[in-house]
Structure 1
Amino acid sequence: MSQIIFGCGDVGRRIARALINDGVSREALVAYVRSSASAEVCSRLGVMALRVDLDKLQRGLSPCHESQLYYTVAPPKHGTQDLRTEALLTALTKDKIRPSKVVVISTTGVYGDCDGDWVTEQTPTNPSTERGQRRLDMEQRWLTWGYKLRVPVVILRVPGIYAYSRLPRERIKAGIPVVKRDECGYTNRIHADDLARVCVAAMQRGERGEIYNVTDGRPGSITEYLQAAAHVLGHDPLPEITMQEAQQQLSDGMLSYLSESRKISNLKMLTDLGVELTYPDFMQGIKY
């Protein structure tokens, strides 16, 4: 059976490697990418890469029929709707293409600010940013389409994705301040390699319509993470400022992350998907 990866960037390529390590033939892998640079990287992995722009998509996705499909594409950067997902689902419907199963990467941002409380898959969604609203819209479109066409869809809600190759080098090199630890809320993380393995496990064992939080289960502050990253990269500790000072100095994007605090439980993922994390703590995984 073919394995289709939509949006074969860093995480998508890690999914491809995980599948290959599990014995899937490279000839069975197809990546849909937007840029020629991504296509070239996929080709070096031995994965057939097809270029597609979901912002302009009409039809012509026949390789997806009866394949297992991993969807890693981020929604557009503005608005509250995910029109990229809508374009893909419209094209699949027009061409009468029905994947055998779909795994979709979403975000734990759909829960919004939980004031530092523990969050499970039963926690109501309440996205407080447009970014979270777009992801929730994406989830709902995939689940609705899946139920209508009887295609099993599994949603993975993912927090911050990290790996040594993904560390924010430019931010750390510039010495941009971080908020004092005692003023930070809780954030959550998952190593990119563990995420890839969870995606494969969800394809193999995830049930139709189910939602899984994908995290290492060790919530902490963004300041802890950034200071650890600075240390690993050989830089001096980043200056720490108050939240009030941050309102004047940090970007709107960073402030939006700081405005939310939640501790994400990964019990359902570990139990139902049978996943054993390689990096259950970012202090271990940040070096790899």
Structure 2
Amino acid sequence: MNLFIFGLGYTALQFIHHHGHRFAEICGTVRSAEKAQAIQEPGLRAFRFDGPASDSAILQHLDETDALLISAPPTEGRDPVLERFSAAITAAPRLRWIGYLSTVGVYGDAGGAWVDEGTPANPASSRARQRIEAERQWLELGASAPFAVQIFRLAGIYGPGRNALVKVADGTAKRIVKPGQAFNRIHTEDIAQVLMASIEKPSRNAIYNVADDEPGPPQDVIAFAAKLLGREPPPEIPFDQAELTPMARAFYEDNKRIRNARIKSELGVTLRYPTYREGLHALHRAGERS
């Protein structure tokens, strides 16, 4: 089985790290020739794709792929992959599975209530609105195609090199407190196992929330990481006094709790890290502290 990935970012590379051995060939795209040369994963071929600029070899490898993972975000209101390659994807003779990585941000603010895949999308930001439009376009592409399209709405991503332990250790962690605020998270290893389970069991036009079992206040995660490292946690900062970028402030405007039952009932997934505590414990045992 051959895999092609549009957008060889952090999450996609973690998927390859955990499950790359399951594929005969893995190809993917980055936005510059320099990034293509810097890719270090064994057995991975990287090609340049940056809007209208793309390596001609992409078309050949799309024609030979069985599974297609879309990790590239929309840009300027358009999905760059669909804009450039929709005809080639539709015509790919071996293609059986497409996975599109989206975000739980498409649900918008639920006032702290629980949401599931049946909850209507209510995106508040332009970035989330672009995501829901890209979801719609991918599902439309797969509605009558021989391949199955799946949408994966990811909660806050953490994993090796990107987690609260790193932030505490390098002094960038902040404990911002907004009463009643809760976020879900998801470890990259659990994202990887959800994607692999879906590849093994495609489901046409399925949507999956990919989140852990326990939504909670972000300041608790920082405090737990500090405890693992034997450090004093940073002081709590009331939300209305915090100095935040517009993007970070918008992040706190969405308050919801994500139900993840579908990845368990339909894909048979058992989360390796059902809460941030198991995830941070494992990262700390692996030496994550800087």
| TM-score bracket for the superposition, by shorter chain length | 0.7 to 0.9
Deviation at 1:118, TM superposition (A): 0.8
Residues in 2 aligned to 1:241 and 1:259: alpha-carbon distance in whole angstroms? 16
Which residue number in structure 2 is paired with residue 16 of structure 1?
16
Is the 8 Å Cα contact of residues 216 and 266 (structure 1) preserved in structure 2?
yes
Mark the CA change 1:175 to 1:147 in structure 2 (over 3 Å): closer, same or farther: closer
- Gapped runs of 5+ residues in structure 2? 284-290
* CA distance in structure 2 between the partners assigned to 1:172 and 1:117 by the alignment: 33
- Name the structure 1 match of 2:61: 63
Structure number with higher strand proportion: 2
- Pairing of 1:1-288 with structure 2 (within 5 A): 1-21=1-21, 23-25=22-24, 28-36=25-33, 38-54=35-51, 56-57=53-54, 60-65=58-63, 66-76=65-75, 79=76, 81-90=77-86, 92=88, 96-97=91-92, 99-167=95-163, 169=166, 173-175=170-172, 177-180=174-177, 183-232=179-228, 235-246=231-242, 249-287=243-281, 288=283
Query: What is the CA distance between 1:175 and its match in structure 2?
Result: 4.7
Unaligned runs of 5+ in 1: none
Q: Would the aligned equivalents of 2:73 and 2:79 in 1 still touch at CA under 8 Å?
A: no
CA distance in 1: counterparts of 2:12 and 2:173, whole angstroms: 30
Q: Is the contact made by 2:185 and 2:276 (CA closer than 8 Å) also made in structure 1?
A: yes
Check 1:103–1:41 CA distance in 2 against 1; reply closer, same or farther (3 A cut): same
- What do residues 207-233 of structure 1 show as CA deviations (whole Å, max 9, x unaligned)? 010101011121111222233334445
The answer to which of 99-108 and 29-38 deviates more is 29-38
Alpha-carbon distance change, 250 to 125 in structure 1, aligned in 2, over 3 angstroms = same
Name the residue aligned to 2:287.
Answer: none
CA separation of 1:282/1:243 partners in 2, compared to 1, >3 Å: closer, same or farther? same
Seen in structure 2, the aligned counterparts of structure 1 residues 82 and 15 have a Cα distance that, compared at 3 Å, is: same
Residue identity in the other structure for 1:9: G
Q: Following TM superposition, by how much is the alpha carbon of 1:39 offset from its aligned partner in structure 2, in angstroms?
A: 2.8
How far residue 91 of structure 1 moved from its aligned partner, in angstroms, is 5.5
CA distance in 2, matches of 1:51, 1:234: 44
Give the root-mean-square deviation of aligned CA atoms: 2.5
* Per-residue CA distance 1:41-68 (angstroms, 9 max, x = gap): 5444221222222354596522112521
Q: Which amino acid aligns with 2:70?
A: Y
Contact kept in structure 1, 2:148 and 2:202, CA below 8 Å: no
| d(CA) in 1 for partners of 2:250, 2:35 | 29
Query: Equivalents in 2 of 1:89, 1:118: separation in Å?
Result: 37
Most deviating of 51-60 and 7-16: 51-60
Structure 1 residues 133 and 55: alpha-carbon distance in aligned structure 2, compared to 1, 3 A threshold: farther
- For residue 32 of structure 1, report the CA deviation from its aligned partner: 2.0
Give the CA deviation at 1:235.
Answer: 4.7
8 Å CA contact 1:55–1:83 kept in 2: the answer is: no
Q: What's 2:288 paired with?
A: none
Describe the superposition over 1:114-155 as per-residue Cα deviations: whole angstroms up to 9, x where unpaired: 111111110000001112111111101111112254431000
Q: Distance in 2 between matches of 1:173 and 1:243?
A: 22
Separation (CA, whole Å) in 2 of partners of 1:253 and 1:110:
15
Matched-pair identity in %: 29
